[in-house]
Amino acid sequence: MRPEEYSPLNLAYLGDAVFELMARETLVTGSLDNVRSLFGKSKAYVSAAAQSRFYFNVFERLTPDEQRIAKRGRNCKPSGRAKNSSVAEYRHATGLEALFGYLYLSGNNERLKEIFALCVPSKENSDEKQ
């Protein structure tokens, strides 16, 4: 099955795991903090509110196909709802997660890294801005 043939919720389910793994890898490789501290920091990246902001930050930089996938994820009716976010935030987060699932299944790892870097700048990039 081609990645675009999966349901948006299935793409989002996978994309949630991909995004969280990338966020955790970024935190672990950029810090010597203990696990409790890393867990707390990861919430800034993997919450629906944060992913909703990331959706808006990257949307205009996506290809038309990527925008279509993100919109499909955003527009689907999820079966649940995040505890600490609005419906709109949750839907936009689902759109971002669907995009990450799609790119992962497409094997487009370079593009996945590019988009993730737009969401969560690496320590080197944030140091350069200071």
CATH for 35: 1.10.1520.10
Q: Give the per-residue pLDDT at 81.
A: 66
Reported as a single tens digit per residue, the pLDDT across 14-36 is 999 999 999 988 888 877 667 77
pLDDT of residue 46: 87
The model's pTM: 0.86
Residue keyed to tokens 């909703």: 52
**Number of domains present in the structure of the chain:** 1
- Amino acid residing at 78: P
Please check the confidence at residue 117 and state whether its pLDDT lies above 50.
yes
Classify residue 24 by burial, with Cβ atoms within 10 Å: 0-12, 13-18, 19+: middle
More confident residue, 111 or 87: 111
Q: What is the pLDDT of residue 79?
A: 67
User: What are the structure tokens assigned to 95, written together?
Assistant: 């759109």
Q: What range defines the domain where residue 54 resides?
A: 3-129
For the chain, the C-alpha Rg in angstroms (whole number) is 14
Q: Which residues are catalytic, by number?
A: 16
pLDDT at 44: 80
Express each pLDDT in 45-92 by its tens digit.
888 999 999 999 999 999 999 999 999 999 987 666 667 788 889 999
Residue 110 pLDDT exceeds 60: yes
pLDDT score, position 62: 96
